[in-house]
Amino acid sequence: AQSVTQLDSQVPVFEEAPVELRCNYSSSVSVYLFWYVQYPNQGLQLLLKYLSGSTLVESINGFEAEFNKSQTSFHLRKPSVHISDTAEYFCAVSGVGAGNMLTFGGGTRLMVKP
Amino acid sequence: NAGVTQTPKFQVLKTGQSMTLQCAQDMNHNSMYWYRQDPGMGLRLIYYSASEGTTDKGEVPNGYNVSRLNKREFSLRLESAAPSQTSVYFCASLRPGSHYGYTFGSGTRLTVV
């Protein structure tokens, strides 16, 4: 079984500042890792994913995440946030070979202030 | 627009009432899922259907039943609603071979009083 811990429930940040949303996981098998974003009153959308290969993965809107196997982490970063990045962000994990079952973290609410 | 459609968007039930949450997708996806979202707990899987005609329990199935009516539709039923089932419910579907590219509906906000 897998579990995911998102260390911060809320992260307030000013516009154009950098941000890091932290995610740690536990698993007895190899994993796939994901970040999903949920804008107000909407469903979740896939932001980026790590399946294999390069440990640094990027999204089309400037976010990046790095898979760190030794620290069992998959932190999400953005060097300069915009008001439009205000949303809730969920880290998720699936065990390799576990079908398509995702285990989600509790979520981090990113609040970008002008 | 193509995607996952959930109805209703909002619902208030009294304890003990029953209701069915509807979900339909028009993307010809095989797999469909029901999640509940509670503050600080992320999304937890209630039931899933890997293909038409099959359903399986997820992490929190107690108090729920599901029906995969056809490839498009996957409904979630609460037979006797309880306040602990107050939550936001999301349906999702998955395209084969998409490497976890779930498509989520916009959710049903359910309150049980």
The answer to whether A90 contacts B44, with C-beta atoms less than 8 Å apart, is no
Size of interface A-B (CB pairs under 8 A): 54
CA B48-B46-B31 angle, to 5 degrees, is 15
pLDDT tens per residue across span B30-62: 899 999 999 888 899 999 998 898 999 999 999
Task: Please give the average pLDDT of every successive group of 10 residues along chain A, which has 114 residues.
Answer: 91 97 92 92 89 88 94 96 96 78 91 96
A contacts of B99 (beta carbons < 8 Å): 32, 49, 51
Strands A10-14 and A108-113: parallel
Q: How far apart are CA A23 and CA A7, in angstroms?
A: 6
The answer to whether B43 contacts A90, with C-beta atoms less than 8 Å apart, is yes
Q: How far apart are CA B48 and CA B46, in angstroms?
A: 7
3-state secondary structure of B36: strand
Burial of A84 (0-12, 13-18, 19+ CB in 10 A): exposed
Could you tell me the CA-to-CA distances from B86 to A39, B53, B81, B94 in Å, in that order?
A: 21, 28, 9, 26
Confidence band of B95 (pLDDT split at 50, 70, 90)? confident
Give the minimum alpha-carbon distance from B41 to chain A in angstroms, rounded to a whole number.
4
